[in-house]
Amino acid sequence: MLLPLLRSRLQGELLAWVLLHPDNPSSLSEIAEAVGTTVPTVKREVDRLQEAGLVTSSVRGRNRVVTPTMDHPLYRPLAEVMALTFGPVGLLREALTPVDGIDEAFIHGSWAARYRQRPGAVPDDIDMIVIGTPDRDELYAAIEAVERTLRREVNYRVVSPQVWDADDGSFKTTVSSRPQVHLIGGSDD
């Protein structure tokens, strides 16, 4: 529902990962790890993208490395669309992983609902919960960098694990009963 033009959410995540990392070529195994799939699946998708001229690949050592074809006429507009649709998961996960003190982080709200294929309007912002005790300045800097790339606001709430575990109020009940997309820790089951 984020971008119904694509065959699958996986295709969107893979395309977003490659297009949004033009300065960091990724191996097939790095892409597979980033989007949570297998190397053969990534190879098939990369072959399709290469056939369309959207990416190029080369061999470095034993690895096939993929980069976007930045001079392709569709690169810039497609990268912008991918940032707005499938970019948040990979970019937020990548930005939050090095921040110490995060036990769990997940996207919730309308963006998570669209990601989980619930119909509705394209969200204007992204809502996120961070459970832990991260350095607030480091967290702010990480999120601000992602907001610049996405050109959309990330509304986040930091909650200590003790407060989150003890909360039996309506906010936690509401958030927990609706779609979530886990970035660090937790499970989307």
Q: Delimit the CATH 1.10.10.10 region(s) of the chain.
A: 9-85
User: Burial of 142 by CB count in 10 Å (0-12 exposed, 13-18 middle, 19+ buried)?
Assistant: buried
Cβ–Cβ < 8 Å for 42, 48: no
Q: For the domain bounded by 90-184, which CATH number is listed?
A: 3.30.460.10
- Chain segment 128-171, per-residue pLDDT in tens: 999 999 999 999 999 999 999 888 899 999 999 999 999 888 88
Residues with Cβ within 8 Å of 90's Cβ and at least 6 positions away in sequence, in order, are: 13, 16, 17, 20, 34, 35
Pick the CATH number of 9-85 from 3.30.70.260, 3.40.50.2000, 1.10.10.10, 3.40.640.10: 1.10.10.10
Q: Delimit the CATH 3.30.460.10 region(s) of the chain.
A: 90-184
Backbone phi, psi, residue 185, to 5°: 65, -175
Q: What is the 3-state secondary structure (H, E, C) of 107-128?
A: EECHHHHHHCCCCCCCCCCEEE
User: How many Å apart are CA 144 and CA 95, to the nearest integer?
Assistant: 10
Q: Which residues pair with 181 in a beta bridge?
A: 107
- Token duo for residue 169: 């109020």
- Chain segment 83-105, per-residue pLDDT in tens: 888 889 989 998 999 999 999 99
pTM (predicted TM-score):
0.81
Confidence of residue 3 (pLDDT cuts 50, 70, 90): low
Task: Name the amino acid, one letter, at 9.
Answer: R
What H or E segment, with its residue span, contains residue 102?
strand 102-108
